[in-house]
Amino acid sequence: MNGQASVLFDAPGPRARLRNNILTLLAAVVIAALLYVVYARFAEKGQFDGQIWKPFADPFTWTEYIIPGLLGTLKAAGLGAVFALIFGAVFGLARLSDHRWIRVPAGAIVETFRAIPLLLLIFFLFYLAPSVLGGGDYTLIALVAGLTLYNGSVLAEVVRAGVRAVPRGQSEAAYAIGLRKNQVMRLVLLPQAVTAMMPAIVSQLVVLLKDTALGYIIAYVDLLNYGFKIIPAVNFGSLIPAAIVIGVIYVGLNMALSALATWLERRSRRSRKTSAKPIVPPGAVAVGDTTAAVD
């Protein structure tokens, strides 16, 4: 940090840097040792034998299991993302309303669904749907509805924070030239707030993508379901290889989404001037001018 203090701590001196380097080295050695122990145990159980990994070199495994599971995951994530964004925009703006009869119920709904564990919400919707809608397969509906209500409630807070991040002078100037409130919101506040909200929105969408794995509990046919139930059942003993392959795919999806978020945020800031500072994503802490996600 070139001798400058950050927001959270003072810049370390020579002795502190030496101590930090020693601790980093020790931590790296411990982690390497743990990884070796895990590798040795897996090798002892034959988890790295070619016969166990052979199914993943067969195109049939990918076309019949992994790709359909991936499409199921992307379908749930896509629907959940669209509905969560709509839910977040509607209830986020409702919480900014001047009318108490709109603001208070919207706040109650958002806080309620933010407080309910997502897994419990999915279970509740899954077992409630047949009672209300009759018999049928409601795994996708329950999963998407749960993702929408929970992540949409978080996004509602992001929208509210994004609009409030725009300096008050922007709206005051708009009112001064005769714009009505809906025009101020639509033409002045939201265009600037979207740029500030972009990192937080995409951060929550990454969380939503990972949360689709909870569909495994209600037997939704997704990537995790294929990876941990169907593939090991068809190819006995391939649970660990399947877990590794599925894990790598999930990591790749999240990294791709994060890269897309970075590109969109940079492009939006180049093409649109805004006075609002970036919104810290949910579960992140601010460090200087950047944010660090805490999962």
For the chain, give the mean pLDDT: 80
The H or E element spanning position 285 is: strand 284-287
Residues 157, 61: Cα–Cα separation, whole Å = 42
Residues 117, 292: Cα–Cα separation, whole Å = 24
Residue-wise pLDDT tens digits, 192-244: 778 778 878 888 888 999 899 898 888 888 888 877 766 665 555 567 788 88
N-term to C-term CA, the chain:
25
Residues 173, 175: Cα–Cα separation, whole Å = 5
Residue entry with tokens 């740029």? 195
For 168, phi then psi, to 5°, come to: -60, -30
Percent of the chain topping pLDDT 90: 26
Most confident of 10-14, 55-59, 185-189, 230-234: 55-59
Distance set, CA 54 to CA 145, 205, 225, 230 (Å): 38, 34, 20, 16
For 282, phi then psi, to 5°, come to: -55, 135
Partners of residue 291 on adjacent β-strands: 286
Residue type, 114: R
Percent of the chain topping pLDDT 70: 82
Residues 167-194 have a mean pLDDT of 75
User: 34-48, 131-145, 255-269: which range is least confident on average?
Assistant: 255-269
Residue-wise pLDDT tens digits, 69-90: 899 999 999 999 999 999 999 9
Look up the pTM and report it: 0.74
Residue-wise pLDDT tens digits, 245-290: 888 888 888 888 878 777 776 776 665 555 555 565 555 544 334 4
55-293: what fold? MetI-like fold (1.10.3720)
Residues 171, 158: Cα–Cα separation, whole Å = 19
